[in-house]
Amino acid sequence: MSGFSQSSVSSQSFRGTIRKWALEEDVASVACMVDLHNVGTFNADTRFKADYLNELEKMLEKVLPHAMLKAKPNLESRIRTLKRVWLIIYDMLDIIEEIDVEDVATTNTHEEKRFPWMRIWCFFG
């Protein structure tokens, strides 16, 4: 398996092969999607046109030739995962903003001022 990072090695699961993505693959994928959006050829209102995955596959082949990323299932699945992660992060940012607004309206104790992250932790505990 020379030429591949250990993080891109697949493992078997009960639902099929699960591909582990390397950070460089995520970075390259997002950068290529931004380029694809900026070119405008595959834009449709607020989304990409249906054929964008094939173009993204071609772009990534040039940037990461040994990754062997395919439009389906690799890119399609990873984009779905990244969307879910982004929604979670976006929700967390909203919660932090609400907590900050509440802090302005109420007086905090000394400990809350020193460790504001502790109030957020209750959402994950």
Q: Summarize pLDDT for 46-74 with one digit per residue, the tens.
A: 678 878 899 999 999 999 999 999 999 99
Instruction: Identify the pLDDT of residue 121.
Output: 47
Is the entire prediction scored with pTM above 0.85? no
Query: Residue 16: pLDDT above 50?
Result: yes
- Tokens describing residue 102: 């509440």
**Side chain identity, residue 13:** S
Q: Where are the domains of the chain?
A: 1-74, 88-125
Answer yes or no: are the C-beta atoms of 16 and 25 closer than 8 Å.
no
Which range has the worst mean pLDDT, 10-14, 23-27, 78-82, 91-95?
Answer: 10-14
Please, is 52 exposed, middle or buried when counting C-beta atoms within 10 Å of its C-beta (0-12, 13-18, 19+)?
buried
Q: How far apart are CA 23 and CA 82, in angstroms?
A: 12
Structure tokens at 22: 């390397």
| pLDDT band, residue 125 (cuts 50/70/90) | very low
pLDDT in the model for residue 54: 93
